[in-house]
Every structure is written in structure tokens, then in C-alpha cells.
Amino acid sequence: MLPPRIMPLDRMTHAIEFLTGEVQGLSLAIQALAKAHPDPAALKKHLDEAEQRGLAEFENLSTKSEAPLEGYRFAMDAVQKALVTNSVEGGK
């Protein structure tokens, strides 16, 4: 027998899809800011430090799924790529 759900399946699906859209929007906004930053090297330094703090926090999670860490790395990689684009273009 399956355990009872906290919320109906259709509501959980909607919540996950909403969260996916929200994260995508935030990711694109952050990438735009990274591309427009006047000092990409300084931003990269701060981003690298924040990324390490974030990775350390994942060690404290008691989840068996790798999905949160995969999502975190995907998002951080997207911002790093935006910074590389800015660095190549010489900042804005």
C-alpha cells in the first residue's frame, strides 16, 4: 500500500512546474547580470567563494537524491559561462 500523499498529485505537479519556471527565470536574470557586470574577474572571485560555501551546505543535507546537487551545479555552471562570455568581451 502506498503512503498517503501530503497534497494531491496534480497540485504537486503544478508546484514542481511552477518552481522549475521560477528557477529558470532567476537563472536567466543572474546570467544577464553576470554578462553586464563591469568587473567580471571580481564577480568570478565572489561567485567561486559562494559556490564553495554552497557545496559545503550540500554535505549537511540528508537526501539520498543527487538531484539537488545536480541542479545546483547546473545553475552555477550557467552563471560561470555567462562570466566567461563577459570576460572575453572585456566587460560592459
Would you write out the chain's pLDDT as a tens digit for each of its 92 residues? 566 667 788 888 999 999 999 999 999 999 999 889 999 889 989 999 999 998 888 777 767 788 888 888 888 898 888 888 877 766 55
CA 9 to CA 52: how far, in whole Å? 35
Contact 37, 92 (CB under 8 A): yes
CA 51 to CA 48: how far, in whole Å? 5
3-class SS shares of the chain: helix, strand, coil, % to 5: 75, 0, 25
Looking up cell 567580471 gives 40
